[in-house]
Amino acid sequence: TAPKQQEKEFPLFITPLNCLHPQKGGTAVMKGSLTTERRNKMILSVILGIVCVAYVLPVLAVLINSFKLNTYVKTNTFALPAGEMWAGVENFVKGMTFGNYPFWNSVKYSVVITVLSTALILLGTSMAAWYIARVNSLFCKILYFLCVFSMVVPFQMVMFTLSNTADKLKLNLVQLSGLCG
């Protein structure tokens, strides 16, 4: 018989568990080289890591530029803020207090609208769900399937139809109706 190939020993806590053969003494033996599946997973991890970095870089650029004076954001976009470029938290203070409608008013109104609408939605839908589940009628079955169907249809289809209808009815021309200025 041919002699067995020498296998390397690794501590159990360092190697991946799916390619180990347990041995006595708390160590495990790693079998062969990387399998095709592991190699593909490693390549996919590298590709997805690059995609993640591509998604994070614009956010990082905005964060870095938020500490610069406005003139340096336009000229030295990717430079780190230092010296005369540094604006500190002045941009944040200006953003929170600028104009006739400060930021904190917007936050307050958003919280009130979110809390009230969530409470009303939970109350209304739970009562409707109880009624639909308990009452066995044709109306309830139709209503149930309409609710299920609305979850199956993508949101974009609903919004496309709604915006087309608004365009046909000339509802997108807000200034003609006298609502805005």
What's the angle, vertex CA 89, arms to CA 109 and CA 85, rounded to 5?
135
Q: Which residues of 38-49 are buried (b: 16+ CB within 10 A; e: fewer)?
A: eeeeeeeeeeee
Q: What is the pLDDT of residues 49-81, one digit of tens each?
A: 999 999 999 999 999 999 998 888 888 888 888
Average pLDDT along the chain: 81
- Say how far apart CA 152 and CA 155 lie, in whole Å: 9
Q: What is the pLDDT of residues 97-136, one digit of tens each?
A: 887 778 888 899 999 999 999 999 999 999 999 999 999 9
CB atoms within 10 A of CB 166: 12
From the CA atom positions of the chain, what is the Rg in Å?
30
How many CA atoms are closer than 13 Å to the CA of 82, on its beta-carbon side? 3
Q: What is the pLDDT of residues 166-177, one digit of tens each?
A: 888 888 765 444
The answer to whether the CB of 29 falls within 8 A of the CB of 20 is: yes
Q: Which residue has the tokens 């053969």?
A: 21
